[in-house]
Amino acid sequence: MEIRFDGERVIVTGAGHGIGRGIAQEFAALGAEVLALDVNKAGLDETAGGGEGLLTTGLLDVTDPAAVRSVVEGFGPASILVHSAGGVRGQVGRPLEEITPADWSDIVDVNMKGAFLMAQAVVPEMKKLRRGRIITISSGAGLGVSLTGIQAYAAAKAGEIGLTRQLAHELGPFGITVNSIAPGFVRSNPTTERQWDAYGPEGQERLTGSIFMRRTGRVEDISGLTLFLASDRAEWITGQVIQVNGGRA
pLDDT (mean) for 196-220? 88
Longest alpha-carbon distance in the chain: 54
Q: Quick one: pLDDT at residue 121?
A: 98
Q: Where are the domains of the chain?
A: 9-188+219-243
pLDDT at residue 209 is higher than 70:
yes
Specify the CATH number for 9-188+219-243; select among 3.40.920.10, 3.40.50.720, 3.90.650.10, 3.40.1800.10.
3.40.50.720
Q: Which residues are catalytic?
A: 153
Task: Return the percentage of the chain with pLDDT > 90, whole number.
Answer: 78
pLDDT at residue 35 is higher than 70:
yes
Integer Cα distance of 21 and 239 in angstroms: 24
176-183 β-sheet, strand order: 55-59, 33-38, 9-13, 80-83, 132-137, 176-183, 241-244
Whole-angstrom CA distances from 49 to 54, 116, 196, 223 are 12, 29, 27, 19
> What pTM, to 2 d.p., does this model score?
0.94
pLDDT tens digits for 48-65? 998 788 999 999 999 999
**Cα 218 to the center of its chain, rounded Å:** 14
Q: Quick one: pLDDT at residue 1?
A: 66
Integer Cα distance of 33 and 51 in angstroms: 12
pLDDT at residue 45 is higher than 90:
yes
Element housing 114 (H / E): helix 114-129
- CB of 196 closer than 8 Å to CB of 204: yes
**Angle (deg, nearest 10), helices 18-29 and 41-49:** 30
pLDDT at residue 196 is higher than 80:
no
- The more confident residue out of 167 and 141 is 167
pLDDT (mean) for 19-28? 97
Please tell me whether residue 59 adopts helix, strand or coil conformation: strand
Handedness of CA 119, 122, 123, 129 (dihedral sign): negative
Task: Return the percentage of the chain with pLDDT > 70, whole number.
Answer: 99
pLDDT at residue 231 is higher than 70:
yes
Integer Cα distance of 117 and 71 in angstroms: 12
pLDDT (mean) for 119-133? 98
How high does pLDDT run on average in the chain? Answer: 94
pLDDT (mean) for 76-104? 92
pLDDT at residue 249 is higher than 70:
no
Residue 220 CB neighbour total at 10 angstroms: 13
Q: If we measure between CA atoms, which residue out of 156, 175, 167, 55 comes closest to residue 121?
A: 167
